[in-house]
Amino acid sequence: MDKPLTPEKKNTVIEDALQTYPIATMPRDITADVLRRIQTIPAPRPFRLTWSDVALSLVISLCIGAVWFSLQHLPPLVVAQIRKESILFYQHLLVNARWLIPMLSFSLAGFLAALTIPYLRQELTKKSA
């Protein structure tokens, strides 16, 4: 019984066989068959700015400008009323929304745990393959 070959000897035998093996002639129509199967990559589309892009950006900028203009020109009594209501709303949240901090904490923990699902699925498929 022959002794098993070491990996180095196996590689040497394979390389020797590959270098001494006669090369077969290539059929003439192989390049046409190969070129027929090659799909060209489509050229990237040039940048285009359509009228809908311009209209949408114009509407959004006008809305932002209108909100800014209206906030700058509110009467002082309305500004005071908004400030008072915002303080009352904040105090209401502090007193009556004790559930808010735990709910936000658990929601954040659940979201971060859900982000790991694709990675875990990938690792499990690697181990099973």
- Domain definitions of the chain by residue range: 7-37
pLDDT tens digit at each of 129 positions of the chain: 577 888 898 899 889 888 888 877 777 777 777 777 777 777 888 889 999 999 999 999 999 999 999 999 999 999 999 999 999 999 998 888 888 889 999 999 999 999 999 899 888 888 876
The Cβ of residue 76 has, within 10 Å, a number of other Cβ atoms equal to 7
Query: How far apart (Å, rounded) are the C-alpha atoms in residues 5 and 49?
Result: 67
Global pTM? 0.38
Tokens standing for residue 113: 């745990």
